[in-house]
Amino acid sequence: MKRHLNSTLLYVLLTIAAALILYPVIYTFFMAVMSPEEASAYPPSFFPHSFHMANFTEVFEIVPIAAFIGNTFLISGLTMIGQLITASLAAYAFAKMEFKGKNFIFSMFVATMMIPWEVTIIPNYLTVRSWNWLDTYQGLTVPFLATAFGTFLLRQFFLQLPKELFEAARMDGCGHIRYFLFHVLPLSRPALGTLAVYSFLNMYNSYLWPLLITNSENMRTVQIGISMLEFQESTSWNLVFAGTALVILPSLLLLIFGLKQLVRGMAAGALKG
């Protein structure tokens, strides 16, 4: 009886905690379908009393949100592919190859994870500007094509692959390239999926760097497009939240469908140091 009571109490607490965490997202969708009068009423209404779906069409009329979403998907996809390539190659070298100073180089590599991105933003901006890459896709993506976190994550996973597999492959005349392409990568789908979801969402939600290096409207990303829904004279919060709902919907769906892969990859990478 006591055990059953404890389980019930635990589920109640978990349900309350989940509701508190999810409520901002749910409230965004509630505000997105409110009428202008209801959205600006005081005290604010926590639940919509009507469904004003015209908010979404107004957002498309005010800002080119579809073009912004397309831009963001392109930049996030290119960054994701670049990080998968560079991180998997570097991780394989650190996990399966022997060379002088490997541990020291890897320690220095991992140490860069301690440096905040904001510290490097000015040198990166000056470099991109000197290459005339301002307001271009290469300026938006190239600084993010390599990641120390991705290399660390994949290395930890590669270390778990049995050495006997590599020795058997070598006996069959398999070199590093074939072993990497036809054995390591197919066996590392959970870790690669984790890095893909993480890098895509990280770039999709990026705001400061696209704001800094883009000037023209056709190069803007969706996070900047949301701020264009706020006007100096007044702010229509129903339109702002409708735009926000459109923006977070793709990343929310990706997170829902990729959550299992994300957790599996993180757990696998944490098993071996």
Whether the per-residue pLDDT at 126 is higher than 90: the answer is yes
The DSSP line for the chain is -HHHHHHHHHHHHHHHHHHHHHHHHHHHHHHHTS-HHHHT-SSPPSS-SS--THHHHHHHHHS-HHHHHHHHHHHHHHHHHHHHHHHHHHHHHHHH---TTHHHHHHHHHHGGGS-HHHHHHHHHHHHHHTT-TTSHHHHHGGGS--HHHHHHHHHHHHTS-HHHHHHHHHTT--HHHHIIIIIHHHTHHHHHHHHHHHHHHHHT--HHHHHH--SGGG--HHHHHHTTB-SS-B-HHHHHHHHHHHHHHHHHHHHHHHHHHHHHHHHHTS--
Q: Which of 24, 52, 58 is nearest to 37 (CA)?
A: 52
| Cβ pair 244, 32 in contact under 8 A | yes
- 269 versus 178: the higher-pLDDT residue is 178
Q: Residue 239: its pLDDT value, please?
A: 85
For tokens 């933003």, name the residue: 121
Distances (CA, A) of 130 to 124, 138, 257: 10, 13, 40
- Mean pLDDT confidence for 101-121: 87
- Joined tokens for residue 124: 């990166």
Q: Residue 161: its pLDDT value, please?
A: 85
Q: Which of 41, 10, 6 is nearest to 238 (CA)?
A: 41
Which span out of 4-13, 61-70, 85-94 was modeled with the highest average pLDDT? 85-94
- 152 versus 49: the higher-pLDDT residue is 152
Q: Residue 272: its pLDDT value, please?
A: 47
Identity of the residue numbered 98: E
Whether the per-residue pLDDT at 121 is higher than 60: the answer is yes
Whether the per-residue pLDDT at 258 is higher than 90: the answer is no
Whether the per-residue pLDDT at 113 is higher than 90: the answer is no
pLDDT averaged over the chain? 85
- 271 versus 205: the higher-pLDDT residue is 205
What are the backbone dihedrals phi and psi of residue 174, each rounded to the nearest 5 degrees, phi first?
-90, 125
What is d(CA 193, CA 89) in angstroms, rounded to the nearest whole number?
Answer: 16
Q: Residue 266: its pLDDT value, please?
A: 61
Share of the chain above pLDDT 70, in %: 92
Whether the per-residue pLDDT at 248 is higher than 60: the answer is yes
Whether the per-residue pLDDT at 87 is higher than 90: the answer is yes
pLDDT band at 264 (very low <50, low <70, confident <90, very high): low
Q: Which residues of 22-35 are buried (b: 16+ CB within 10 A; e: fewer)?
A: eeeeeebbbbbbbb
Q: Model pTM?
A: 0.81
- Joined tokens for residue 258: 């990729």
Q: Residue 138: its pLDDT value, please?
A: 92
Q: Residue 167: its pLDDT value, please?
A: 82
Q: Residue 262: its pLDDT value, please?
A: 66
Residue-wise pLDDT tens digits, 160-186: 888 888 888 888 888 888 889 988 998
Instruction: Count CB atoms within 10 A of the CB of residue 238.
Output: 24
What is d(CA 179, CA 269) in angstroms, rounded to the nearest whole number?
Answer: 20
Q: Residue 273: its pLDDT value, please?
A: 44
